[in-house]
Amino acid sequence: MAAQQVHLGVVQLQLTAEAAENDRRAEAGIREAAARGAQIICLPELFRSLYFCQREDHDHFQLAERVPGPSTERFGQLARELGVVLIVSLFEKRAEGLYHNTAAVLDADGSYLGKYRKMHIPDDPLFYEKFYFTPGDLGFKVFPSRFGRLGVLICWDQWYPEGARLTALRGADILFYPTAIGWHPSEKAEHGKAQHQSWELIQRSHGVANGCYVVSVNRTGHEGDPEGGIEFWGQSFVSDPQGTILALAPVDAPAVLVVPIDLGKLDVQRTHWPFLRDRRIDAYGDITRRFIDE
């Protein structure tokens, strides 16, 4: 199989309360990644603001925007200038009273390829996303970009093998997960290592089960109440179809990773580990049930 090398860019950010400053930091990270050869570049979840879902506050709906809209226009121009594919995570206002957690994909000519709306919406202490976001209704999607077929999911989606599988079955070569996840500081000493390991492990396993590369892009830094809040754990990473981590960002600092991958290896991986071939699709009907009681 001939090599099909693509360079992936990961922009891990520490964010502020000012959208203009966050846009500036994102653009600087994108430019750095592109200068180092990245062709597909992903930003963290909801990168234009602090992670506002730590509390329920109606004022935060003012952060939302149309998708496509001003941010896709701005970053589309940047994608065209640099000749790169961009994945940008945005707070989408669909209509009055109707909002989504959405990722837009912009091709290397600046064109808008489409959007994915987060399907799984959490509701946990300091992660009160059900207050803000309607679950996605576009299904699981793949975007045929200049440099590869991209599957995009968002944060809480990363815990669900069904989402990764259905995205892979639509032809994704790479699964991207823009993310905002971290520790409750009071829990970190006791549970922090296990929480992080679980997060990393489940995503690497999606790559193994589906024969895909996985790219998880987190934010870093402490946000919220100084005595509580969330300590975002960074550690954005890229893993290959065998689950091997190819690059890992630090815990406590912004970072730009540029990672070469070979899409030509996917066919080899999937023929030697033929999980898609051996699926028993005739036996999986119960997967659509909430729970099997009998």
d(CA 108, CA 50): 28
Q: How far apart are CA 41 and CA 54, in angstroms?
A: 27
Indicate the residue type of 157: D
Annotated catalytic residue within 42, 53, 92, 118? 118
Instruction: Please give the structure tokens belonging to residue 224.
Output: 């919220």
Q: Which of 155, 200, 223, 231 is catalytic?
A: 155
* Rounded distance between C-alpha atoms, residue 142 and residue 218, angstroms: 21
Annotated active-site residue 118? The verdict is yes
45 is catalytic: yes
Q: Give the integer Cα–Cα distance in Å for 236 and 218.
A: 5
Q: Do residues 254 and 288 lie in contact, with contact meaning Cβ atoms separated by under 8 Å? A: no
Sign of CA dihedral 41, 44, 45, 48: negative
> Which residue of the set 45, 200, 223, 231 is catalytic?
45
Q: Estimate to the nearest angstrom the gap between the alpha carbon of 5 and the chain centroid.
A: 21
Active site members: 45, 118, 155
